[in-house]
Amino acid sequence: MADSKARLTRLAGRTLARVIGHVSRTSDIVYDPSDLMERLAAAHPCTVACWHGQFMMLCMLRPPGARVSAMVARHGDAELIGEAMRAFDVELIRGAGAGDRKKDRGGAAALRGSVRALTQGSSVVMTADVPPGPARKAGIGIIMIAQLSGRPIAPVAAATSRMASLDTWSRITVNLPYSKLAFAGGEIIHVPRDADAATLEELRQKLEHELNDAMARAYALAGADIERATPLDMLAWRTPPAPGRMLKIYAKGLSALRPLTPVLLNYRARRGKEDASRRGERLGKPVRPRPEGQLVWVHAASVGETNVALPVIEAMLSRNPNLHVMLTTGTTTSAALAAKRLPDRAFHQFAPLDAGPYVASFLDHWRPDLAIFTESEIWPNLILATSERQIPLTLINARMSPRSMKRWRKYARLGRPLFSRFALILAQNERVARVLRFLGAPRVETTGNLKIDAPAPPVDAAQLAALKEAIGTRHVWLAASTHAGEEQQVAAAHTLLRDKLPDVLTIIVPRHPDRAEAIAAEIAALGIKVERRSQTQSPSRDCQIFLADTIGELGTFYALCPIAFIGGSLVPRGGQNPIEAIKHGAVVLSGPHTHNFHDAYAALAEANGVITITSSGTLAEAVARMHANAPDMAAARSGAEEALSNLSGAMQKTLDALTPYLDPARTPA
């Protein structure tokens, strides 16, 4: 199998080499400047730099008799390029820079190999920008190669009048035969061996400028449209693209389904997911007037996103006494939380369904001055209609799961008309920021996770005291924000714990309280005595599992329990926020599925501030060990607090970035 793949790669590489030769032989070749080949010969050996995706014809830009090496990555696709280069007697240097990724792609070895080739008399051809982008941004590695070798950099570009281009991160261009083939070169760049960091950065920027200028001249000389070779994300940064076919089908489909809206809302109301008395809000028909002055609209999905938004809302209101804030969400649980915790000059509305007429009615009434979306709330019609009204769109605490990142990259043509309309996006980490830039967002900053800076969820002191009195000296632990499939594992862990801690009380706070009746029935069927918070305020002496199925009390239960398992992590849901538990002094246990809070859990693991469990058995063992070993519990708390201190700062960065959009002098449109 491996031999067959290798033979196929060799065949494809040789075919590519023949295509390159055919393009060169059948094309009318021009140079800018006209003595470009002589300049390259004079600079030899040098680093010949080009932009990624624009390298197909550069093997033909070779002074007579010059030895040439090329840096080629180690991944499978690069094997084809490597085979083509061998056909032109180009030596290969394997490896590439890692860019913003931590994965080793052989960059150090490639740097050493490039310096060695240059000092031994071979020019080195390499791309200045590093996968996976951003495109057209030179990496520092190419500058360091020039510094270490003492050999210059020659920026070059090639273009043909006939070409095809692919929607890759670098917009790979395939040059076609029977063209006008233009080669352009920029100013030769020398990097002093004693250059300091500031000088290296200045020269890196100069390389970018020279490459962009050379590329523009090559395409102009060839008579080709440079936008066809420009990465689509860069085009989207300049001008948001119009919605494509899929978005148009989405918009028309939702409008066509409007007659079914009452059926949908009735069904959701029967399941406790809609407030029937406020149905008009879902149809874009608010019942309250718009407040005078500046109105900021903050949109969140549910309880988790609302907890992120609330501190931001409070901070914005404290900075501007004339500001009003409207928070929209889509769930009854988040509406209940908003009713309890929204400050003065802030109010809650249910978000309109994402159908054109409902969205238009909503925006016509409220006319917000600024829209702030949270985390991953992307509703196409809502975004497009807001943008059409010239309302600045921002997205804070932006996050994506690994699966979502792959999906958005695959369907970038769907995402670019949406993400390019955000004036500002604040991402939780650089991985997410990189994807958002690829999707056309013009301004993306990495600010960290707001949940780390958010205050601990509130504690009802009277209720806490009552619960402590009811529990007495019993061993107690918490399973918080559990999802379907986890409560059974928690119940199994409880059964195992009773062998070591006969008096143990397990408290479960489900992520979705509307599941409480079904959860209680499942636990009772196991022969475990279960009581519900909504039916009895405190657990009785013989209660084994207490099901906290109320809203807004998670802070109280974190303060009550010294140990907290954070749900959504024993099942593949990506985990829930561990920060709230840590801020109340609880030792955190978690399953392996934590990608929704990757950075937080990675920092906690490095500081030994989280205990990872994989089953009901390991969950029971961890709870029993923590209850029996006070030093271990103290060490876990200390590690968690250390990790949080290193991750903080997102709130201040977010508020600073939003400040230009919160000018008190602004008035409603």
List Cβ neighbours of 72 (8 Å cut-off, separation of 6 or more).
Answer: 78, 81, 82, 85, 92, 93, 94, 96
d(CA 295, CA 217): 48
What does the DSSP 8-state code read for residue 189? Answer: B
Distance of CA 635 to the CA centre of its chain: 32
Helix axes 332-341, 303-319, angle to 10 degrees: 30
Q: Distance between the two ends of the chain, CA-based, in angstroms?
A: 65
Q: Which of 83, 305, 487, 580 is catalytic?
A: 305
Q: Considering only CA atoms, which of 222, 242, 240, 219 is closest in space to residue 230?
A: 219
d(CA 102, CA 197): 22
d(CA 215, CA 234): 15
Put the strands of the sheet holding 47-50 in their side by side order.
28-32, 180-185, 153-160, 47-50, 123-127, 68-72, 91-94
Instruction: Give ∠ CA 272-485-482 in degrees, rounded to 5.
Output: 65
d(CA 565, CA 165): 50
d(CA 238, CA 290): 34
List Cβ neighbours of 219 (8 Å cut-off, separation of 6 or more).
Answer: 157, 159, 182, 225, 226, 229
Q: Considering only CA atoms, which of 306, 326, 301 is closest in space to residue 316?
A: 326
Evaluate whether 479 touches 486 at the Cβ level (below 8 Å). yes
Instruction: Give ∠ CA 410-413-414 in degrees, rounded to 5.
Output: 90
187 in active site = no
CB neighbours of residue 615 within 10 Å: 13
d(CA 51, CA 155): 9
Is residue 384 classed as helix, strand or coil in its secondary structure?
helix
CB neighbours of residue 238 within 10 Å: 11
Q: Identity (one letter) of the amino acid at 13?
A: G
Q: Which residues are catalytic?
A: 305
